[in-house]
Amino acid sequence: MNRDNDKGKVLINRSLIVGIGKFVLLMCIILRLYYLQVFQADKYKTLADENRISTRLLVPPRGLIYDRNGVVIATNRQNFQALIVAEQTPSLQKTLDAFKKIMPLSEAEEQRIRKDLKSNKSFVPIKIKENLTWEEVSKIQLNASDLPGVIIDEGLSRYYPYGEKMAHVLGYVAAVSEKDVKDDPLLEVPGFKIGKSGIEKLFEKKLRGKGGNLKSEVNAYGRVMKEIEKKEGIPGERVDLTIDVRLQEKAYDLFTEKEHSGAAILLDVQTGEILAFVSAPSFDPNVFSKGISTKEWKELLANEKNPLSNKAISGQYSPGSTFKIITALAALEAGVIKPDTHFFCAAKMVLGTHAFHCWKRIGHGSLNVVEALKHSCDIFFYETSLRLGIEKMAEMARRFGLGSKINIGLENERAGLIPDKAWKLKRFGEPWQQGESLISGIGQGYILTTPLQLATMIARVANGGYQVTPTFTKLDPNEKNHIKKIPVNQRYLDMVKEGLYEVVNVPGATAYRSHFDYHGIKMAGKTGSTQVRRITMKERQTRILKQDELPWRLRDHGVFVGYAPADNPKYAVAVLVEHGGGGSTAAAPIASQILLEAIKLDPDLHDGAVNQSFTPYSMRQNIIPAE
């Protein structure tokens, strides 16, 4: 029994030890609870919130773009798409079949839908088709009973009401690519589009706005349970351009009517504001914001008239005879010719072993600078250039905006080329030849200009030598009052302008066919054509082929720079028609019509402005010019 008592004592002692052990272990649990729930509570609260709260970016509507009169030229249009939610339809196949009866789906589309359905949870809406028309939407809604799980979702997509007419100004928007700098979380949103070229790219930051936030509670499978917080974004700002859609349309139509390829720029000579900016042919930017097909893209690339290239700033052309304006001004300033200096044009001039020809095969006879401009006599300007030299000519050209970028803000702007002796030595390692000065003096040779530079040049001539710079945005009054004056003698400038007036308004002059007289308002300007091919000696001896006998690619480029009203210039225009066959035949008529349209639309320029200032705009459009 003694041993039994011991046995009982051992049991009690050992039980107490085990009991204390249990107590200690349970206290460990409480310490652990304290550690997790008090000490580390904040960390885990954050983690729990990260688990349950999903934040979605809300895309703000893109800012609209307006022309100078407040007409919308880039807007957002409702874009309908059909989605399917797998879990809401009893039979996916049946629903898709029913959908196909309303709207055909291509094999590729069906495959994509199936793939998306497989890789997503059943409550995630999958896109069936986007860019639905109103008609298609109503069809789907009518058949809703056959289409369980199909929902219509509306988003916004960019729309350009003027399509291809504005494409080279506005550019387009497209999906973010890997190359784009991702400085804004919005760019990570699937389907988000940004400006890829033109004004859309230039003002991207302003147009984009700020994204909003939608915080919602999601469960472990990602299903949204409820909305927690919604913070609306800030819509993109509006952008107002100096473009006038009426003039833009007119200018673009003038090119497409004759299937011309080229560019035209219309400027306000006092401010440099761009009223029309055309590069033709063009492309439809709406196709880009929808998503362009490979076929359409290849067609655009293959077109020999290069619709994707912005010829107004990327095309570099010899200015041809329009450059004679610069030559004349430089020569007058240098004193190598006087206002009454006459040269005799015998259609041909020989320098060393080389013969230089005038465009007019019978020659012009004796003429002074004004007459030389009027008839665009080459020999006069050869003689002048011979005495002037390239350096002074180039210097004058640069004053008027040639040879360097305008920096208009659009991509692929080219600088053109104004050669001088240093350039030639550097480029070819050869000294400048006198003969090269001669052909430079008539705008041939190395000289290259963009249509925008030509527009700048003629605007600076027209406004009396003010250094206006083309711009798409309106100048504020302060900027307007601080436009620098180019150092140029006013008398010489007036003399050149007299020549430009005669070019258009004197019968027999190069652009007389394009003249107009609208309530006494006339235009002035200068034609130019640049040879794309070389005229051989043999051809000169027999007969020079007429322009329309040549294939398109070998015809001359036609150039015209001009302004109106001739006596008190307000608008300047530069027109370039690629392979148009000559400035007077192709470019001048277009320039003339653009200027005439600008004048007709300008209420300040009409005779009897007092009466018309009260005429509603719609009626003013009907005023017929006196022929």
Catalytic residues: 321
Complex with another protein: residue 8 or 339, whichever CB lies closer? 8
> CA 96: distance to chain centroid?
41
Q: Could you tell me if 235 and 209 are in contact, meaning their C-beta atoms sit under 8 angstroms apart?
A: yes
Q: Which residue has the tokens 């430089």?
A: 330
For another protein, which stretch binds (CB under 8 A), given 98-106, 185-193, 219-227, 234-242? Answer: 219-227
Amino acid identity of 480? K
User: Is residue 18 a contact residue for another protein (CB under 8 A)?
Assistant: yes
Q: According to CB under 8 A, which one of 37, 141, 366, 536 is a site residue for another protein?
A: 37
Q: Which is nearer to another protein, 30 or 181 (CB)?
A: 30
Is position 10 an interface residue for another protein (rule: CB under 8 A)? yes
If one asks whether residue 40 binds another protein (CB under 8 A), the answer comes out as yes
Q: How many residues bind another protein (CB under 8 A)?
A: 42
Residue 85 contacts another protein per CB under 8 A: no
Q: Which is nearer to another protein, 221 or 617 (CB)?
A: 221
As a whole number of Å, the end-to-end CA separation of the chain is: 144
Smallest distance from another protein to CB 43, Å: 7
Give me the least distance between CB of 215 and another protein, in Å please: 13
Least distance CB 12 / another protein (angstroms): 7
**Minimum distance from CB of 122 to another protein (Å)?**
15
The residues that bridge with 211 in the sheet, in sequence order, are none
Q: Give the nearer residue to another protein in terms of CB position, either 30 or 624.
A: 30
Residue 228 contacts another protein per CB under 8 A:
no
Residue 532 burial class via C-beta count within 10 angstroms: exposed 0-12, middle 13-18, buried 19 and up: middle
| Closest to another protein by CB, 146 or 217 | 217
d(CA 195, CA 63): 11
Q: Least CB distance from residue 50 to another protein, whole Å?
A: 9
* Positive/negative CA dihedral, 277, 280, 283, 284: positive
Q: Under the criterion CB under 8 A, does residue 301 sit at the interface with another protein?
A: no
Tell me the three state secondary structure of residue 597.
Answer: helix
Nearer to another protein among residue 35 and residue 428 (C-beta): 35
DSSP 529-577: EE-SSPPPHHHHHS-PPPGGGS-GGGSPEEEEEEEESSSS--EEEEEEE
- Which range touches another protein (CB under 8 A), out of 27-35, 139-147, 362-370, 456-464? 27-35
Query: Measured from the CB of residue 284, what is the shortest distance to another protein in angstroms?
Result: 47
List 55, 219, 489, 531, residue binding another protein (CB under 8 A): 219
Q: Shortest distance, CB of residue 54 to another protein, whole angstroms?
A: 11
Stretch that binds another protein, among 105-113, 212-220, 347-355, 474-482 (CB under 8 A): 212-220
Residue 223 Cβ, how far from another protein at the closest point, in Å?
A: 9
C-beta closer to another protein: residue 37 or 531 = 37
Stretch that binds another protein, among 9-17, 130-138, 279-287, 387-395 (CB under 8 A): 9-17
- Binding status of residue 224 toward another protein by CB under 8 A: no
Sequence-ordered list of residues with C-beta below 8 angstroms from that of 118, at least 6 positions apart, any chain: none
| 218 vs 483, beta carbon nearer another protein | 218
Identify which of residues 41 and 545 has a Cβ nearer to another protein in the complex. Answer: 41
List the structure tokens of 395.
């210097």
Cis ω before 565 (30° cut-off from 0):
yes
Residues 2 and 599: their CA atoms lie apart, in Å, by 131
Task: Count Cβ neighbours within 10 Å for each residue of 14-42 and write b for 16 or more, e otherwise.
Answer: eeeeeeeeeeeeeeeeeeeeeeeeeeeee
Exposed / middle / buried, residue 111 (Cβ in 10 Å: 0-12, 13-18, 19+): exposed
Query: Would you say 39 or 617 has its CB closer to another protein?
Result: 39
Q: Closest approach of Cβ 227 to another protein, in Å? A: 15
Q: Which of 41, 301, 346, 535 binds another protein (CB under 8 A)?
A: 41
What is the torsional sign of CA 580, 164, 524, 318? negative
Interacting residue with another protein among 4, 476, 604, 627 (CB under 8 A): 4
Selected binder of another protein within 134, 221, 614, 617 (CB under 8 A) = 221
**Least distance from C-beta 231 to another protein, angstroms?**
21
DSSP output for 411-452:
TT----B---HHHHHHHHSSPPPHHHHHHHHTT-TT-BB-HH
Q: Which is nearer to another protein, 217 or 249 (CB)?
A: 217
Q: How many CB atoms lie within 10 A of CB 538?
A: 7
- Contact segment (CB under 8 A) with another protein among 2-10, 181-189, 284-292, 523-531 equals 2-10
d(C-alpha 133, C-alpha 81), whole Å: 9
Q: Minimum CB separation from another protein for residue 202, in Å?
A: 45
Candidates 19-27, 153-161, 235-243, 347-355; binding stretch for another protein (CB under 8 A)? 19-27
Helix (H/G/I), strand (E/B), else coil: 33? helix
Two structure tokens written together for 544: 């020079």
Contact flags string 45-64 toward another protein, x per CB under 8 A: x-xxx-xx------------
> Does residue 1 bind another protein (CB under 8 A)?
no
Smallest CA-to-CA distance from 593 within 357, 249, 284 is with: 249
Burial class (CB in 10 A: 0-12, 13-18, 19+), 555: buried
Residues 405-424 interacting with another protein (rule: CB under 8 A): none
Among the residue ranges 31-39, 71-79, 562-570, 595-603, the one whose residues contact another protein (CB under 8 A): 31-39
Complex with another protein: residue 44 or 428, whichever CB lies closer: 44
DSSP 349: E
CA atoms within 13 A on the CB side of 2: 0
Contact 97, 148 (CB under 8 A): no
Contact between residue 587 and residue 560 where contact means Cβ atoms under 8 Å apart = yes
Stretch that binds another protein, among 6-14, 167-175, 338-346, 483-491 (CB under 8 A): 6-14
Which of 23, 123, 344, 428 binds another protein (CB under 8 A)? It is 23
What the block records as the tokens of 489 is: 């003698």
User: Which member of 34, 123, 344, 428 binds another protein (CB under 8 A)?
Assistant: 34
β-sheet bridge partners, residue 154? 80
* Cα gap 453→461, rounded to integer Å: 12
> Which stretches of the chain bind another protein, using CB under 8 A?
3-4, 6-8, 10-12, 14-15, 17-19, 22-23, 25-26, 28-30, 32-34, 36-38, 40-41, 43-45, 47-49, 51-52, 217-221, 225
